Structure 1
Amino acid sequence: MVQYNFKKITVVPNGKDFVDIILSRTQRQTPTVVHKGYAISRLRQFYMRKVKYTQTNFHEKLSTIIDEFPRLGDIHPFYGDLLHVLYNKDHYKLALGQINTARNLIGKIAKDYVKLLKYGDSLYRCKCLKVAALGRMCTVLKRIGPSLAYLEQVRQHMARLPSIDPNTRTILICGYPNVGKSSFINKITRADVEVQPYAFTTKSLFVGHTDYKYLRYQVIDTPGILDRPFEDRNIIEMCSITALAHLRAAILFFLDISGSCGYTIAQQAALFQSIKSLFLNKPLIVVCNKTDLQPLDGLSEEDMKLVNEMKAEALKTSIGHGGEGTDADVLLTMSALTEEGVIAVKNAACERLLNQRVEIKMKSKKINDCLNRFHVAVPKPRDQKERPLCIPQAVLEAKAKQAAAEEKRKTEKDLEEENGGAGVYSMNLRKHYILADDEWKEDNLPEILDGHNVYDFIDPDILHRVEELEREEGLRQAEADDDDFEIDGTELTPEQQEALAEIRRKKSILIQQHRIKKSTAESRPTVSRKFDKDRQFTTERMGRQLSSLGLDPSMAINRMRSRSASRKGRKRERSPEGRNDGMDIDDDTPSKKQRLSRSLSRSRSVSRPPHEVVPGEGLRDSAQKIKAIKLAKGSSKKRNKNAKRGEADRVIVNLKPKHLYCGKRSKGKTDRR
């Protein structure tokens, strides 16, 4: 038998306590004394041990939390749905996922900083890396503080849940609030469930145990259920619904026939009809309680009719699923106050459940191994008369029809294989719609946008209009292609036609040369224009081309030469006022002063020194400017230093951090918190 004991889950500390526990353990369990004179390898090993030990402790603690909390997909569906009802499985999974992510991040941080510590070049650098590693680990853990607090609350609540075995013999008590369910479980078990004369005294599941025929049965008391839609039920009611849906148990539906619970028999019958689908394949007994206040015989005809309908439904459920229920077993009366009929109800429920479990086991495959050990006696024939099997003709016809229907019926898998297989076949989701007319299944569903049906705003001739637009667009595009500008030469003079032909010929030659260069660009070495033998791009070539066109090339050649001369020179001559004239020298015979300035510019720079005072700066002399420059550098030094600061640089926020300056503890005091 599978037992779920959530009380064994370890306590989940909050973020601050978690950090204190881990850092204190690191401080106690690892060496604390290191000297400056140690070899650098020993220093690295000392701090790497600290980082690795801290990461291992974090990993163990977080792994314990992840492993001990149950995974909703691995436990029984009853507990999975119960936890979802109580805690919302999305929040639960998200919290555990954040714990797992934090564990992985801490592992990566430790790995990265151990790698950096291998190359630490001093005691100070190694210590800074260790502090940075531990600080980042603690930051990661503090970020998941809300998840740790949530899991601690879940753990405390789960520890208070009853230990229910979903697979053992179970009796489930359900019904409206205040109908006597808790009083009944107190009578037949030693469970001490609170009983009060008002509704919803029981707000969660309670478990007791009782014995019948030397077998142990667990009895579960569920909170009351109200007759309302499923989505309107609260968490207390959903606990009962979850137990009814998932536990294979004998159901005792309690009915208060006296009306003292505050609900009429009609309301209780309506609840029975609304949840009867949860009673399938389970032994069901309708228990009429509080007969000391109102006997069953004294009910009105309408109420008696409702009770008989419930009795018929319970009998149908029992017979339809292999039970052996009779009228006497399905409808029972009792009084929890006088204890009249209490034991009879318990015995009937246990007997019905036992018979059903035996019947299920007889139908299982395991029974064959047991039957092989028994000797089955075969009677000897007492005469020569043949006694063949006698099967009614109606049964044979019904079986034949069923077999034919099964042969004809095609599954979705068969339809998928016939229509192209997976990825091609699309299942028709509408064919099982329950509509008044089957032809309505294939109707187009309206698309609603802003409260309006989109189809109401669609022009019925829209397809025809789209075709017309496409046709018109094609005609316009064809006209645009025909109207491309191209000189055909019909309106030109003979001289212009010759020039046009020459331009086109030169254009084609240039295009071919460019394509050849582009195709061989990767394999062709780059040759400086200085060593270019062809000398294609020269002023002489440009002059010849301009002369052939009837233009004077002298101005263009002079302009190109002056530009190249200005590029060869270091800088233009500085004027006496400390600025450039902005004039190029085009004379062929420069003066002596110009030649001297050019030779000086080639030998040394004539740029202004930093301490030289320029008019308009607002400084008195060069000494004052030098002082201003020093002050500016001093003020920007601190900002530059802060800008270059990284994670590994030494930053002590707290001048006396507890875990770095406290030593080993003495024998007397072991809890500093």
Structure 2
Amino acid sequence: MVQYNFKKITMVPSGKDFVDIILSRTQRQTPTVVHKGYAISRLRQFYMRKVKYTQQNFYEKLSAIIDEFPRLDDIHPFYGDLLHVLYNKDHYKLALGQINTARNLISKISKDYIRLLKYGDSLYRCKTLKVAALGRMCTVVKKISPSLAYLEQIRQHMARLPSIDPNTRTILICGYPNVGKSSFINKITRADVDVQPYAFTTKSLFVGHTDYKYLRYQVIDTPGILDRPLEERNIIEMCSITALAHLRAAVLFFLDVSGSCGYSIAQQAALFHSIKSLFLNKPLLVVCNKIDLQPLESLSEEDRKLVMEMKDEASKTLNGGDDPELANGVLLSMSTLTEDGVIAVKNAACERLLNQRVEMKLKSKKINDCLNRFHVAMPKPRDGKERPPSIPQAVLEAKAAQANVEREKRKLEKDLENENGGAGVYSASLKKNYILPNDEWKEDLMPEIFEGHNVTDFVDPDILQRLQELEREEGLRMEGENEENDEMDEERELSLEEREALAEIRKKKSLLIQEHRIKKSTAESRSVIPRKFNKDKAFTSERMGRDLSRLGLDPSAAINRARSRSVSQRGRKRERSLAIEDEGEGMDIDQPNKKLRMRSRSRSQSRGPPGELVPGEGFKDSAQKTKAVKLAKKAAKKRNKDARRGEADRVILNMKPKHLFSGKRSIGKTDRR
């Protein structure tokens, strides 16, 4: 299991946010109401509680920061050196030390001011001491703001570090930049490391996981290393050196035999010899990559000699230089592009690492504690007779019956695929499960395009139903034609004048239909003529006379009635205007005509008393109207009281808003708010 999970470290707030968080919590969690009439002991207790609570919150927050960040002396040396390479051990320890100092200072300030508050003689003195105590605590926190910001940056970076377990089975890949390390880890694990054709694409450690013999292996891809002194190496290279120095792992040293990485075999061999001290007591394999570009056999004599020297050194690191079997498997070749030899390299590394771990466990002292738990029983021979292992007949019969069942079992697609060349060669037929009236039709080829038309446009599963509908429609059409023929027969029986009238009616009907269709189609885009400018459709007595004459009625009586009504209205208007003029004699001459008009209009629109019955209102008499008005007023009274606009309005004013009638409980009684 992974022991170090830096993603769980809590976020470190900035100095200002830290102060805001603590003071806000103090304000929310402690009483806020105090009066000068309280006893002095109660006043002291009130402010002492504030100071103690603030100090306690500061202490808890700062302690959480100190405890959650790892101590470099207590964690695994790999992580200790890695953090030193990335963040500088001295700066890291100084920042945590300042946090610890601030925590102790805040505790001391709280202790001093609580001692002073015990002797506070007034509300003002106690409050002043409380303000001073909180102010000094906040000043201490603000002074360590740079350390808090530095630790927050470290926390964010540590959360992005891969979760590496230093004690599990590990395969470490190292070598010059751009020799194919990231391509290899992408092939054997599900890691997705960026691969580019230039150096130092990988700038940090990447982790993937693979399985071998039902065991999980951790594969680490390291950044490229250059052949130069240790003090000249940068942070990226030092990550690889740290991993090689501290992790017990099988090391794969990648060698680009083609030289396409930009470094010759001699340079790569020099790097191997400069860091070979880091490979001691670790299974080491020299992997010649990119053999698709340059096979190992076609190397020059010089380069081949360098490769053989590296092979001899690698066999020595396994503590088995004299064993030819171990020495033979040290040099492997592969190509990540064609995947030739990739799995063989992975299996060889896993096997060697497993053997080494088993040997180490056998050599350890723990094996002596475990040996007494194991007992292997070996029977002693009682005579010279041989007793070979025998299988009972019943077991053989059961095995044969099982084989027959498997033979008779329905062949699966997987079996057919294995029989016919495997994946990529065998193509399963999707047509063999078609449900058709005739099985011979299953493999028939159906054209997609025929004579320039898409065949699927003409394939209709409901063709028979559509055919029946067409026949039904054809029958209805035939019946209509028969009816038309009957009408034509009836027309033949008409006289010449009747036929002409009938033709005129049909022509007019078709014209009306056509006109209606035109109006309908252009209704949206047609402009509407205002009524006062539309002379053809003006509501005049002449138009009324034309319309009545067209209907065959005598319009004279209606026209005379309309004219007489218009004359009487003009007379009334004349009387009203005279009356206004009479009233105007007593008014001020400067009064504008608009006011006169408004006043006369309001008088003309005034109605009688509310109980008076007006025709068309729907009431039987004045008493019924008065009763209805009273009921309406009574119904509206409650609604008006609740400040509602209408019957559908659900607004009910909150007469006791909670934020005004509830608050924090003060020190003392808690039986009422």
Matched with 2:428 is none
User: 1:318–1:325: 8 Å Cα contact kept in structure 2?
Assistant: no
SS of the residue aligned with 2:227?
A: coil
Q: Map 1:415-434; keep pairs closer than 5 Å.
A: none
Give the distance between the partners of 2:246 and 2:337, measured in 1 at CA. 31
Matched with 1:245 is 245
Matched with 1:139 is 139
Matched with 1:126 is 126
Larger Rg: 2
Matched with 1:171 is 171
Give the distance between the partners of 2:321 and 2:151, measured in 1 at CA. 43
TM-score under structure 2 normalisation? 0.56
Q: Given the superposition, is the C-alpha separation of residues 323 and 134 from structure 1 closer, same or farther in structure 2, using an over 3 Å criterion?
A: farther
2:214 corresponds to 1:188: no
Q: Map 1:243-282; keep pairs closer than 5 Å.
A: 243-282=243-282
Q: Given the superposition, is the C-alpha separation of residues 48 and 184 from structure 1 closer, same or farther in structure 2, using an over 3 Å criterion?
A: same
Which residue type is aligned with residue 225 of structure 1? I
Q: Map 1:78-477; keep pairs closer than 5 Å.
A: 78-320=78-320, 326-375=326-375
Which residue type is aligned with residue 167 of structure 1? N
Deviation (angstroms), 1:317: 1.2
Deviation (angstroms), 1:338: 0.5
Which residue type is aligned with residue 17 of structure 1? D
Q: Given the superposition, is the C-alpha separation of residues 132 and 322 from structure 1 closer, same or farther in structure 2, using an over 3 Å criterion?
A: farther
Question: How big is the alpha-carbon RMSD for the aligned residues of Structure 1 and Structure 2?
Answer: 2.2
Deviation (angstroms), 1:102: 0.1
The Cα offsets for residues 179-205 of structure 1, whole Å up to 9 and x where unpaired, read as 000000000000000000000000000
Which residue type is aligned with residue 196 of structure 2? Q
Q: Which ranges in structure 2 are unaligned for 5 or more consecutive residues?
A: 383-658, 663-673
2:1 corresponds to 1:6: no
The Cα offsets for residues 281-333 of structure 1, whole Å up to 9 and x where unpaired, read as 00000000001100000100000000000000001111349998624310000
The Cα offsets for residues 502-542 of structure 1, whole Å up to 9 and x where unpaired, read as xxxxxxxxxxxxxxxxxxxxxxxxxxxxxxxxxxxxxxxxx
User: 1:283–1:323: 8 Å Cα contact kept in structure 2?
Assistant: no
The Cα offsets for residues 401-423 of structure 1, whole Å up to 9 and x where unpaired, read as xxxxxxxxxxxxxxxxxxxxxxx
Q: How many correspondences in the alignment?
A: 387
User: 1:323–1:355: 8 Å Cα contact kept in structure 2?
Assistant: no
Q: Given the superposition, is the C-alpha separation of residues 46 and 128 from structure 1 closer, same or farther in structure 2, using an over 3 Å criterion?
A: same
Which residue type is aligned with residue 268 of structure 1? Q
SS of the residue aligned with 1:216?
A: strand
User: 1:81–1:242: 8 Å Cα contact kept in structure 2?
Assistant: yes
User: 1:181–1:254: 8 Å Cα contact kept in structure 2?
Assistant: yes
User: 1:318–1:324: 8 Å Cα contact kept in structure 2?
Assistant: no
User: 1:249–1:283: 8 Å Cα contact kept in structure 2?
Assistant: yes
User: 2:117–2:126: 8 Å Cα contact kept in structure 1?
Assistant: yes
The Cα offsets for residues 408-467 of structure 1, whole Å up to 9 and x where unpaired, read as xxxxxxxxxxxxxxxxxxxxxxxxxxxxxxxxxxxxxxxxxxxxxxxxxxxxxxxxxxxx
Give the distance between the partners of 2:180 and 2:274, measured in 1 at CA. 21
Which residue type is aligned with residue 61 of structure 1? K
Deviation (angstroms), 1:366: 1.3
Give the distance between the partners of 1:187 and 1:312, measured in 2 at CA. 28
User: 1:109–1:137: 8 Å Cα contact kept in structure 2?
Assistant: yes
Q: Given the superposition, is the C-alpha separation of residues 153 and 666 from structure 1 closer, same or farther in structure 2, using an over 3 Å criterion?
A: farther
Give the distance between the partners of 2:206 and 2:372, measured in 1 at CA. 42
Which residue type is aligned with residue 104 of structure 2? N
User: 1:40–1:121: 8 Å Cα contact kept in structure 2?
Assistant: yes
Q: Given the superposition, is the C-alpha separation of residues 236 and 276 from structure 1 closer, same or farther in structure 2, using an over 3 Å criterion?
A: same
Q: Given the superposition, is the C-alpha separation of residues 333 and 60 from structure 1 closer, same or farther in structure 2, using an over 3 Å criterion?
A: same
Runs of 4+ in structure 1 over 4 Å off: 320-325, 376-382, 664-667
SS of the residue aligned with 2:319?
A: helix
Matched with 2:50 is 50
Q: Given the superposition, is the C-alpha separation of residues 353 and 27 from structure 1 closer, same or farther in structure 2, using an over 3 Å criterion?
A: same
Q: Given the superposition, is the C-alpha separation of residues 256 and 50 from structure 1 closer, same or farther in structure 2, using an over 3 Å criterion?
A: same
Matched with 2:35 is 35
Give the distance between the partners of 1:256 and 1:666, measured in 2 at CA. 81
Matched with 1:397 is none
Matched with 1:64 is 64
Deviation (angstroms), 1:368: 1.6
User: 1:95–1:147: 8 Å Cα contact kept in structure 2?
Assistant: yes
SS of the residue aligned with 1:12?
A: coil
Q: Which ranges in structure 1 are unaligned for 5 or more consecutive residues?
A: 383-663, 668-673
Give the distance between the partners of 1:274 and 1:359, measured in 2 at CA. 28
Deviation (angstroms), 1:374: 2.6
Q: Map 1:473-622; keep pairs closer than 5 Å.
A: none
Which residue type is aligned with residue 58 of structure 1? F
Give the distance between the partners of 1:81 and 1:356, measured in 2 at CA. 25
The Cα offsets for residues 353-376 of structure 1, whole Å up to 9 and x where unpaired, read as 000000000011111232212335
Give the distance between the partners of 2:161 and 2:148, measured in 1 at CA. 20
Q: Given the superposition, is the C-alpha separation of residues 322 and 56 from structure 1 closer, same or farther in structure 2, using an over 3 Å criterion?
A: farther
Give the distance between the partners of 1:72 and 1:182, measured in 2 at CA. 30
Q: Given the superposition, is the C-alpha separation of residues 209 and 222 from structure 1 closer, same or farther in structure 2, using an over 3 Å criterion?
A: same
SS of the residue aligned with 1:198?
A: coil
Deviation (angstroms), 1:209: 0.3
User: 2:320–2:327: 8 Å Cα contact kept in structure 1?
Assistant: no
Identity score, percent? 87
Give the distance between the partners of 1:322 and 1:666, measured in 2 at CA. 92
Give the distance between the partners of 1:347 and 1:320, measured in 2 at CA. 19
Give the distance between the partners of 1:15 and 1:108, measured in 2 at CA. 20
User: 2:170–2:248: 8 Å Cα contact kept in structure 1?
Assistant: yes
Give the distance between the partners of 1:279 and 1:325, measured in 2 at CA. 20
User: 2:180–2:336: 8 Å Cα contact kept in structure 1?
Assistant: yes
Q: Given the superposition, is the C-alpha separation of residues 286 and 173 from structure 1 closer, same or farther in structure 2, using an over 3 Å criterion?
A: same
Give the distance between the partners of 1:666 and 1:352, measured in 2 at CA. 78
SS of the residue aligned with 1:319?
A: coil
SS of the residue aligned with 2:318?
A: helix
Which residue type is aligned with residue 55 of structure 2? Q
SS of the residue aligned with 1:261?
A: coil
SS of the residue aligned with 1:96?
A: helix
User: 1:2–1:165: 8 Å Cα contact kept in structure 2?
Assistant: yes
User: 1:12–1:65: 8 Å Cα contact kept in structure 2?
Assistant: yes
The Cα offsets for residues 473-525 of structure 1, whole Å up to 9 and x where unpaired, read as xxxxxxxxxxxxxxxxxxxxxxxxxxxxxxxxxxxxxxxxxxxxxxxxxxxxx
Give the distance between the partners of 1:81 and 1:321, measured in 2 at CA. 32
SS of the residue aligned with 1:91?
A: helix
The Cα offsets for residues 231-287 of structure 1, whole Å up to 9 and x where unpaired, read as 000000000000000000000000000000000000000000000000000000000
Give the distance between the partners of 2:66 and 2:332, measured in 1 at CA. 48
User: 2:281–2:319: 8 Å Cα contact kept in structure 1?
Assistant: no
Which residue type is aligned with residue 165 of structure 2? D
SS of the residue aligned with 1:211?
A: strand
Which residue type is aligned with residue 12 of structure 1? V
SS of the residue aligned with 1:168?
A: coil
Deviation (angstroms), 1:380: 8.1
TM-score under structure 1 normalisation? 0.56
SS of the residue aligned with 1:326?
A: helix
Matched with 2:413 is none
